[in-house]
């Protein structure tokens, strides 16, 4: 065992989050199922726009063992169109309305970088978690808004924005830069009154394939932050471009990387394929957790 590995054992990662009075145990990793309400997400199998499609998808996530449903109405694939706040809410609102009626107890995560969308999602539909790909960079009011809402916040790292993030991203020291970023943001969030912070290294967001694999290799370094970590590599380009396949064929590669991420400390897997991810957690738990 390396000296770094030994040091990591002394850091106690927080193993629970408070979702509006409901304490969610993260000592066993959870699976978050993706529901994209956009017409242009990179993986066609994750797009759900009609009422019946959305209901069926959420039923599927729950029945397969997913604990959190993540709704996104703004496509964050590289080069995606920058839609308005109005259009994002028009996509998101009907879906939240449907799900709160049909599945009142399900844990809802809303994938948005806009504080107004976060506020309406929590106040009108009791969304449980805010998942912000921009880490507060796109909306200066996000941290204070989430602090007032008293919900957990997923803090992701992204270099640039979805329109520019893959235009030759560069780092001098990738992991060190991300650790510094998260440490500063963590303190800012605590100052704003946010009690529960989850970090997301942002695979594929302002990172090329080499960056992504370097990040995966050193994922255990993030334990020093003492915060639960979400990993989202599901069917991403680091898999299908490396293997010279399409996103449709990238399930096996996703499972391999999810397994590695669990061994390196991931507490939430954000995925398209819930059944396979739940099985991965169960098997890894038998060996290492």
CA 39 – CA 42 distance, rounded (Å): 9
Contacts of 63 (CB under 8 A, 6+ apart): none
Token digits of residue 53: 């499609």
Token digits of residue 173: 């020291």
Beta bridge partners of 34: 70
Q: Is 151 exposed, middle or buried (0-12, 13-18, 19+ CB in 10 A)?
A: buried
Query: Edge-to-edge, what's the strand order for the sheet holding 230-231?
Result: 197-200, 153-156, 129-132, 107-111, 68-72, 30-36, 268-271, 230-231
Are β-strands 268-271 and 197-200 bridged in parallel, bridged antiparallel, or unpaired? unpaired
Are β-strands 22-25 and 16-19 bridged in parallel, bridged antiparallel, or unpaired? antiparallel
Q: Which residues are the active-site residues?
A: 236, 270
């Amino acid at each position: 065992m390396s000296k770094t590995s030994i040091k990591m054992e002394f850091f106690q990662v927080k193993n629970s989050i408070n979702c509006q009075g409901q304490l969610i145990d993260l000592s066993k990793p959870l699976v978050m199922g993706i529901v994209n309400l956009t017409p242009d997400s990179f993986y066609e199998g994750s797009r759900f726009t009609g009422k019946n499609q959305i209901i069926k998808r959420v039923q599927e996530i729950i029945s397969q063992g997913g604990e959190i449903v993540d709704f996104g109405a703004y496509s964050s694939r590289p080069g995606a169109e920058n839609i308005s706040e109005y259009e994002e809410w028009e996509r998101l609102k009907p879906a939240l309305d449907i799900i709160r009626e049909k599945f009142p107890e399900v844990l809802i995560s809303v994938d948005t970088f806009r504080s107004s969308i976060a506020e309406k999602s929590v106040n009108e539909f009791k969304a449980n978690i805010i998942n912000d790909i921009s880490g507060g960079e796109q909306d200066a009011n996000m941290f204070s808004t989430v602090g007032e809402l008293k919900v957990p916040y997923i803090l992701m790292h992204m270099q640039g924005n979805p329109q520019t993030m893959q235009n030759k991203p560069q780092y001098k020291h990738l992991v060190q830069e991300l650790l510094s970023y998260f440490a500063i943001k963590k303190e800012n969030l605590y100052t704003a009154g946010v009690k529960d912070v989850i970090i997301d290294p942002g695979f594929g967001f302002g990172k090329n394939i080499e960056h992504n694999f370097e990040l995966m290799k050193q994922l255990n370094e993030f334990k020093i932050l003492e915060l639960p970590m979400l990993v989202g590599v599901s069917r991403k380009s680091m898999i299908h471009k490396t293997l010279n396949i399409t996103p449709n064929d990238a399930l096996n590669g996703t499972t391999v990387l999810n397994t590695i991420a669990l061994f390196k400390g991931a507490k939430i897997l954000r995925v398209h394929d819930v059944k396979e991810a739940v099985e991965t957690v169960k098997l890894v738990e038998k060996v290492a957790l």
